[in-house]
């Protein structure tokens, strides 16, 4: 059955706090707030990792990299991506495409979309033209709309390694 495409879904939510670096999709973005988390809080990469791991039928990010493990404190989420890709390849799978929606009032993602797509593509060994990143606002509703949080949803399509 590994010859058939597989799809996975990942979702991540982080509070936004003043003074935190704003790293999203592996790209540092100038902003007065950044995602809070045990690691670097990169909600985009966390959702993408969970989507890839889910499509491969593997454990989720929180199981593989517990927030109770001090080794993960302030950890660069790119390392999670490297491990997710390694595990995916061990299953005989590769990433075919990724689609990401990030919901936040700030930062505005449009000026950074190309860099985020390129970084995600490099981390998951997929052409950036097969990575889509969209930014949406919370329309002033709830914690996202008040600028207190970022929620990211990602879908990954995997296929067999050639």
Contact 141, 100 (CB under 8 A): no
CA atoms within 13 A on the CB side of 25: 29
| pLDDT for position 1 | 56
Beta strand spans in the chain (E): 6-18, 23-24, 27-28, 33-35, 93-103, 131-136, 149-160
Instruction: Report all structural domains of the chain as residue ranges with CATH numbers, in order of start.
Output: 6-160 (3.30.1330.50)
pTM here is: 0.95
Question: Residue 105 in 3-state DSSP?
Answer: coil
Q: What is the DSSP string of 20-48?
A: S--EETTEE---SEEE--SS---HHHHHH
| pLDDT for position 37 | 87
Round to whole Å and give the CA distance between 94 and 25: 19
Q: Tens of pLDDT along the chain (162 residues)?
A: 567 899 999 999 999 999 999 999 999 999 999 999 888 899 999 999 999 999 999 999 889 887 888 887 878 899 999 999 999 999 999 999 999 999 999 999 999 999 999 999 999 999 999 999 999 999 999 999 999 999 999 999 999 998
């Amino acid at each position: 059955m590994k010859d058939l495409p597989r799809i996975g879904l990942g979702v991540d939510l982080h509070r936004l706090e003043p003074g935190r670096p704003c790293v999203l999709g592996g790209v540092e973005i100038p902003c007065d707030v950044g995602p809070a988390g045990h690691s670097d809080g990169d909600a985009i990469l966390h959702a993408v990792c969970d989507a890839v791991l889910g499509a491969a039928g593997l454990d989720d990010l929180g199981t593989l990299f517990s927030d109770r493990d001090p080794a993960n404190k302030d950890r660069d989420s790119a390392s999670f991506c490297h491990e997710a890709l390694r595990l995916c390849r061990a299953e005989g799978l590769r990433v075919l495409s990724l689609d990401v929606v990030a919901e936040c009032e700030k930062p505005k993602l449009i000026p950074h979309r190309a860099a985020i797509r390129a970084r995600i593509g490099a981390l998951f060994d997929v052409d950036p033209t097969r990575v889509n990143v969209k930014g949406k606002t919370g329309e002033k509703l709830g914690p996202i709309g008040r600028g207190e949080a970022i929620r990211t949803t990602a879908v990954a399509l995997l296929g067999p390694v050639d």
